Structures are given as structure tokens and as C-alpha cells.
A = this chain, B = another copy of it.
């Protein structure tokens, strides 16, 4: 499979998972955390699906399209492992992390801190959606929506 086909499947899985999560999220209080704003496409999708919900976005540097830049106070720039750690305990309803690089060695370094960070940001019952697999004792994998193949995008729930 070409990398073009692969990214189409990955983005489609991302959309399908986020749509399911957003539809079920009315009863979970708390903000949404976007780790890796990037171009801002997912941020744009989340604010469309979750009107009125605060979304705080993090990135190393600002690379978003001007139409998809969060309002002042909801954008935090700098090393995500450091900046987002300051928000531990915020009791987020949803943490979405799309910070894979496509390089296994770099992603392995990210995975030394990302699961713990995501866990620390989520409130009880909060949902994690991630492009990298998160393994943590308090993050329970959930079944994916119908039609989403395993292994492209990951869905978990904070268990306490």
C-alpha cells in the first residue's frame, strides 16, 4: 500500500473515531486537549463537532492554517512534553494526540512520556484518541467504531 493510501486510511480512521467520541461526549465534563495542532485540521473538526467546548491546543511551533488557530489562551507553544505536563489534573473530557512522526525511533522516544501525560490530563471516564499506541494501566482500550481497521488509530478510556 502506498503512503498516499495509508494516510487516507489513517485520516479516515481519525475522523470516524473522533465523530463517535464527540457524539458520546455530552455527559463527560471538561475541556478537550489537542496535543499536536499541526495544520489545525483536526482542531477545526473538533470545534465543529463540539460547539462551546473549550479546546486547548499544544504544539512545538505554530504551523496551523490561519483559519484554524485557537484563540489566545487556548494555544500553548513549546515542547509538548513540558508545556502540557503543567496542565496535569485539568480533568479533560478528551485528549487527542496526533504527534507521530512516521519514524519509529522518534515515536519510541515520544512513547516514553506520552501515555503518562495523557493519563494525567484526563478526568475520570475521559477519552484518549491517539495516532500512537498508548499503554498505561489506567487507560483501557475501547472497541473501534465499525469499519475502522485495527492499528491505525487508537481509542481508550480513563478507568478511574
Contact = CB atoms under 8 A, between A and B. Distances in A.
A130 interface: no
Interface residues of A, number: 25
Tell me how many chains of this kind the complex includes.
Answer: 2
Nearest to A11: B8
Contact of A4 (B2, B41, B102): B41
Interface stretch (A42-50, A51-59, A138-146, A149-157): A42-50
A3 B44 contact: yes
- What DSSP secondary structure best describes chain A's contact surface? helix
Interface string A28-69: 000000000001111011001100000000000000011110
Contacts of A42: 4
Contacts of A45: 2-5
Interface of A: 2-8, 11-12, 14-15, 39-42, 44-45, 48-49, 65-68, 102-103
